[in-house]
């Protein structure tokens, strides 16, 4: 069973997808971490690597090829990726969404609590700044995916299960997602 997670920034997709993999005892892949690694190899921040990806499709193709190969060689894993639903046919596709203001607060809180996570855009100091940054990233990502592949990763019709996490705890989200997975094994 392959389960792909996508969702809006701050929706809990990374946290939940990792916990689901742990509960199911299968590997977890985090494409954001892989992109950070690729950016670091080039001496770039994630934001700089994102701009590079906007300008040249070869950098997105590098990530996409990884997804395709992963889907071919493994048959049980959880993946946090904006495009796995597209590149790994037959996966269970889950989309988590959240109110943008709630997302901004969650992300700022996570940045302040975890020294290993860093705010690469030093201009972001307030929830309003973060909400604007999230909106700008959503627009840039959507434009890139439409331009390169003709897809919209935020189109909810691409997913088997959609959950708004705005007013839910991590435990509540986890329970609802696990219930869906068990019903659709």
- Give residue 115's pLDDT: 62
Return the axis-axis angle of helices 31-41 and 46-55, rounded to nearest 10°: 90
**51: containing domain:** 2-99+155-183
- Give residue 62's pLDDT: 84
- Give residue 92's pLDDT: 96
* Residue at 133 is within a domain: no
pLDDT category at 117 given cuts 50, 70, 90 is low
Q: Give percent above pLDDT 70 in the chain.
A: 95
Report, as an integer, the average pLDDT of 99-117.
84
Report, as an integer, the average pLDDT of 142-161.
92
Report, as an integer, the average pLDDT of 152-176.
96
3-state secondary structure of 43: coil
* Residue at 145 is within a domain: no
Of 43 and 115, more confident: 43
Instruction: State the CATH number of the domain containing residue 37.
Output: 3.40.50.300
Contact 181, 20 (CB under 8 A): yes
Domain count, the chain: 1
Q: How far apart are CA 58 and CA 115, in angstroms?
A: 32
pTM for the model stands at: 0.88
């Amino acid at each position: 069973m392959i389960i792909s997670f996508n969702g809006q920034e701050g929706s809990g997709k990374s946290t939940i997808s990792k916990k689901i993999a742990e509960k199911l005892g299968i590997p977890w892949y985090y494409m954001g971490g892989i992109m950070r690694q690729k950016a670091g190899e080039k001496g770039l921040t994630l934001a700089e690597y994102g701009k590079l990806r906007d300008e040249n499709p070869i950098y997105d193709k590098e990530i996409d090829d990884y997804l395709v190969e992963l889907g071919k060689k493994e048959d049980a894993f959880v993946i946090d990726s904006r495009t796995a639903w597209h590149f790994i046919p037959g996966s269970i596709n889950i989309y988590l969404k959240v109110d943008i203001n709630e997302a901004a607060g969650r992300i700022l809180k996570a940045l302040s609590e975890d020294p290993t996570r860093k705010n690469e855009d030093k201009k972001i100091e307030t929830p309003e700044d973060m909400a604007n940054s999230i909106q700008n990233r959503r627009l840039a990502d959507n434009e890139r995916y439409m331009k390169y592949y003709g897809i919209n990763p935020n189109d909810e019709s691409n997913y088997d299960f959609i959950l708004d996490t705005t007013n839910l705890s991590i435990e509540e989200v986890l329970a609802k997602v696990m219930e869906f997975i068990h019903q659709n094994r």
